[in-house]
Amino acid sequence: MENRKRRVVVTGIGMATPYGFGAKKFWDSILEGKSAISTIKRIPLEGHSVHIAGEIKDFDSWGKLEPKDAKRMDRFTQYAVVAADEAVSDAGIDENCTDPYRYGVIVGSAAGGFDTFEKQHHNILEKGPTKCSPFTVPMLIADMGAGRISMRHHAKGVNKAIVTACATSAHCVGDAFRTIQYNDADIIIAGGSEAVITTLGIGAFTSARTLSKRNDAPEKASRPYDKDRDGFVMSEGAAIIVLEELEHAKKRGAKIYAEIVGYGQTADAYDIVAPDPTGAGAAKAMEFAVKDANIKPEEVDYVNAHGTSTGLGDIAESKAIARVFGDLDTNKNLKVSSTKSMHGHMLGATGAAESIVCIKALKEGIIPPTINLDNQDPEVANLNYVPHKAVKANIKYALTNSFGFGGHNASLLFKKYED
């Protein structure tokens, strides 16, 4: 068990989101309570009943990739590479000062190259199967973000892509944490990327009756815990975190954002899309993360909830949070917010994005809000959901939840860094 005592810290963060390039722009925007949701521009909307999303506009790799390279990557891979470049630069990693076989990448995607799939399928139908691009497979597969990042940064250690729907990047970060704890790596680039704002992506989720249709007011469409919520809002982008063994980070003089101290994972074993209404699996994932950190539940100050703005999901998760940490009648210190109210649901990238929310909240002592919470649903648990405006708070422990279709649950627990 000695290897498990290795401490793991965050030394770099990077993002590509509907707010634009970079983690700073993302963080500043959500502290302002600014919505990233707007009318979709990338695809024709005729025939669609959902017209809104958290879409990255005017991307064109933001001039950060060589045109030849970008042309051979699906958008989800481009987002992943751009975000990873920022995170690695932020961490100040000198490749010559780390063993490449102890430098890894765990970056996943829930859907992979939807855009490539659609375009190449269209080519086959219109022009025949020989007109499919020879780069189709390496553009399509969900592991290519991890593969491209490893090549770009000469990371020759663990390299994989976890796929667990909307829990994908939370599991990627959690498994990276475990891998470093168990002394199988010193540095891992971890996170997720998603680009499913396509005709198929919007159409499929609409048919599943999961998306908000509040087309006339995009900024108000994502409204977790509000009684008038009508579904989640699709979003896209990438979130990447550099995790590093503490002594390795200190030796090279790295700045440290926070420490990751707990990881819990369970399955609902209940339904292909609906959460267990009792919240039992979600609660157990949180309990496991708290136990892993060897702390008491009441020590957790902030929960960044999965909080997608769906009818069943918000109720089940809120009950689970109250079960583990207590509600306002028993724990007045706990604060809970859903930043998806602002940035939307980034699917496979969301767990890492919301981990960055926790990391920044710990570092700066401020909790972002849940916007659009005008009339709290009486069926959600009695918790402080930080409505409308960010609040300053002395936070020592912050936990984030991610849950995916198929019943996948992941909870990550971060701690304010103390030497």
pLDDT in tens, 141-178: 999 999 999 999 999 999 999 999 999 999 999 999 99
Q: How many other CB atoms are there within 10 angstroms of residue 291's CB atom?
A: 14
The pLDDT assigned to 3 comes to 44
Which of these is catalytic: 248, 345, 358, 408?
A: 345
Which of these is catalytic: 153, 171, 306, 343?
A: 306
The pLDDT assigned to 57 comes to 95
Length of the chain as a residue count = 419
The pLDDT assigned to 2 comes to 44
| DSSP 3-state percent helix, strand, coil across the chain (nearest 5) | 40, 20, 40
Alpha carbons 369 and 32: distance in angstroms, whole number: 9
Helix, coil or strand: residue 221? coil
Alpha carbons 80 and 77: distance in angstroms, whole number: 5
Residue 306 a catalytic site member: yes
Q: How many other CB atoms are there within 10 angstroms of residue 217's CB atom?
A: 12
Contacts of residue 14, Cβ cutoff 8 Å, sequence gap at least 6: 22, 23, 82, 83, 84, 85, 86, 87, 88, 89, 90, 238, 239, 240
Could you read off the pLDDT of 201-260 as tens digits, one per residue? 999 999 999 999 999 999 999 999 999 999 999 999 999 999 999 999 999 999 999 999
Alpha carbons 184 and 158: distance in angstroms, whole number: 8
Alpha carbons 220 and 91: distance in angstroms, whole number: 36
Mode of pairing for the β-strands spanning 366-367 and 391-392: antiparallel
Alpha carbons 390 and 370: distance in angstroms, whole number: 8
C-beta of residue 120 within 8 angstroms of C-beta of residue 132: yes
Integer angstrom CA distances of residue 55 from 147, 215, 295, 297, 389: 25, 14, 39, 37, 23
Tokens encoding 18? 């509907």
Residue 97 a catalytic site member: no
Alpha carbons 133 and 16: distance in angstroms, whole number: 26
The pLDDT assigned to 419 comes to 85
Low-confidence ranges of the chain (pLDDT < 70): 1-4
C-beta of residue 245 within 8 angstroms of C-beta of residue 6: yes
The pLDDT assigned to 4 comes to 54
Alpha carbons 387 and 225: distance in angstroms, whole number: 10
CA 165, 358, 338 angle in degrees (round to 5)? 60
Alpha carbons 216 and 411: distance in angstroms, whole number: 34
C-beta of residue 4 within 8 angstroms of C-beta of residue 345: no
Rounded to two decimals, the pTM is: 0.97
Q: List the beta strands (DSSP E) in 43-186.
A: 52-53, 103-108, 159-160
Q: Tell me the domains of the chain and their CATH numbers.
A: 9-251 (3.40.47.10), 263-412 (3.40.47.10)
Partners of residue 259 on adjacent β-strands? 9, 415
Mode of pairing for the β-strands spanning 159-160 and 103-108: parallel
Contacts of residue 150, Cβ cutoff 8 Å, sequence gap at least 6: 104, 105, 156, 159
DSSP 95: G
The pLDDT assigned to 95 comes to 80
Tokens encoding 2? 């000695």
Q: How many other CB atoms are there within 10 angstroms of residue 28's CB atom?
A: 13
Alpha carbons 266 and 336: distance in angstroms, whole number: 21
